Amino acid sequence: MIDATPEQRLQGLGITLPTASAPAAKYANFVIVKGLLYVSGKGPSGNPKGKLGAAYTTEEGYRFARQTGLEVLAVVQSALGSLNKVNRVVRIQGFVNATPEFEDHHLVLNGCSDLMTEVFGGMGSHARSVLGAISLRDNLPIIVESVFEVKE
């Protein structure tokens, strides 16, 4: 599916995006400025609670990051009407709720990064950073913020 659109790739992966979740507090789900779509921090579906390295393994964290990527894509689709209006994924930043000894933050965030390249192909490759956190809202295991370049 090299020449496939993001919507076609999603379908090929057997993925139906969830409905975009509402913001958890007083902020916007997204903001578009000068051709960039900024998506507020999102967590995984199902509202799991707990820390990587205690309640969850790296592999479970990877799945949470992938679920979080689906939540992000749901917001993007809601904002633009179609993922086909994304020019490229610019940046992903992950915050991993982890024990002090946990060292696999980068492997956890790969769940979201892998999803972006599966959906957007080469335009899914992005800059990123991942940080360990001693706590996150609602005790979520991961929160991801993201930036997309959109077609004018």
Please state, for a pLDDT cut of 90, what percent of the chain lies above it: 95
pLDDT at 1: 56
Query: In this predicted model, what pLDDT tens digit does every residue of 80-112 receive, in sequence order?
Result: 999 999 999 999 999 999 999 999 999 999 999
Query: In this predicted model, what pLDDT tens digit does every residue of 8-60 receive, in sequence order?
Result: 999 999 999 999 999 989 999 999 999 999 999 999 999 899 999 999 999 99
DSSP percent split of the chain into helix, strand, coil, nearest 5: 35, 30, 35
d(CA 152, CA 149): 9
Please state, for a pLDDT cut of 70, what percent of the chain lies above it: 99
pLDDT at 142: 98
Residue 80: enclosing H or E segment and its boundaries? helix 58-80
d(CA 8, CA 55): 36
Domains of the chain by start residue, with CATH: 28-150 (3.30.1330.40)
